[in-house]
Amino acid sequence: MAYTTIDDPTAFFQAKKYVGTGGSQAYTFDGNSDLQADFLWFKSTDLSQEHWLADSVRGTTKYLESNSTNAEATSASGLSSFDSNGFTFGSDIDRINGDGHNYVGWGWKAGTSFTNDASGTGIGTIDSAGSVNTDAGFSIISYTGNGSAGATVAHGLGAVPGIIFIKNRTNGAENWLVYTNKSGGTKAIVLDTTTAEITNSSVWNNTNASSTVFTLGVNDAVNQSSSPMIAYCFTDKQGYSKVGGKYVGNGNANGTFVYTGFKPAMVICKKSSASGTNWGIIDNKRANPFNEISAMLNPNSSGTEGANNDCDFLSNGFKWRTNDGNSNASATYIYMAFAENPFVTSTGVPATAR
């Protein structure tokens, strides 16, 4: 029996650990050489520097920061290209390529051009464009807000999104807002703060996303009139991704196990039921080759890598080995995870733990 259609997850997502050179430099991903990432997310692990988020839809010179409300900025000397199997930097920028400093880059592949003329197709009420990968359940969607309650935007996934990250590109006063399918259209969570999940009808207009569109309220963070927006949309793919899911921590050092159906390459989590804790990212590259993994970065913080969130990456999920509030307090968390290997491939080959 086939458990997945994605036998090699590294064709769609990889983490890359690297050391900056302070000059023009190309880096290649370590796994599948066909991964030409369309969404790249960088963070220094040993410098207090902002996160750097770039995508092929907005172009190489444009970047956003997950840890701030700052508007989109332009750098002609930062990321210079999305390569066929990696990425190239232009010069010495401490955020992404400081000489001798340590970094990680996470890359997702979209790759197929997407456009939707809402009036022509009858799908949505706002035109959208971008890049989509229906096999991997990922799309990058650009649109311009109209300020109208109930506006809808086509996302191109052909399935209900599990999680959507949206940023107003020009308004530096607006937070990143996040939709999760498990919480639905009445709630949102903020990427750049430690706040808990909020109830706010102005964000998603109290409407769940569908297999074709997501719905917007009048909130300027997601639908300011005449403002350009960017949305990163993900849906579950068996054996490859679990996105927008929830788990309940047990507050115990012998922590909660979360079933994913694959051996993770990356996990992002956030306590949603209470404020005061960070988002967290762990991955399979910034760690020892064996369990436990403890190196965590925080998408809402410019801080350096911490080592107090021990976790095992298993063949079919992940298990916390900590009671730290960022990952396993007695509370509810949202999470997303991407695979290193499926639990069982389409030909019946099982995965193993680290």
- Mean pLDDT, consecutive 10-residue stretches, the chain (354 aa), reads 82 97 94 92 97 98 98 95 96 90 98 97 98 98 98 98 98 98 98 98 98 98 98 97 97 96 97 97 87 94 92 96 96 98 78 68
Cβ contacts of 132 within 8 Å, gap of 6 or more: 110, 111, 112, 114, 138, 139, 140, 156, 157
> What is the C-alpha separation between 334 and 40, in angstroms, rounded?
22
Residues constituting the chain: 354
How far out from the chain centre does Cα 284 lie? 15
With H, G, I as helix, E, B as strand and everything else as coil, classify residue 52. Answer: strand
Please give the backbone phi and psi of residue 273, each rounded to the nearest 5 degrees, phi first.
-90, -10
Cβ contacts of 349 within 8 Å, gap of 6 or more: none
Partners of 339 in beta bridges: 264
Contact 105, 87 (CB under 8 A): yes
Cα separation values, 275 from 186, 194, 202, 271, Å: 18, 6, 21, 7
Residue 353 has a pLDDT of 67
Residue 354 has a pLDDT of 67
Residue 290 has a pLDDT of 81
**Dihedral (Cα; 130, 110, 299, 294), 10-degree rounding:** 180
Handedness of CA 179, 184, 186, 189 (dihedral sign): negative
> What is the C-alpha separation between 81 and 93, in angstroms, rounded?
15
Question: How many Cβ atoms are within 10 Å of 61's Cβ, its own excluded?
Answer: 15
With H, G, I as helix, E, B as strand and everything else as coil, classify residue 119. Answer: helix
Residue 1 has a pLDDT of 44
Q: Which pTM was predicted?
A: 0.97
- Identify which of 108, 178, 122, 116 has the alpha carbon closest to the alpha carbon of residue 144: 116
Cis preceding linkage at 292, omega within 30: yes
How far the first Cα of the chain sits from its last, in Å, is: 25
Q: Write down the H helix ranges in 205-272.
A: 220-223
With H, G, I as helix, E, B as strand and everything else as coil, classify residue 26. Answer: strand
130: its two tokens: 């971008």
Cα separation values, 118 from 58, 82, 352, Å: 21, 29, 46
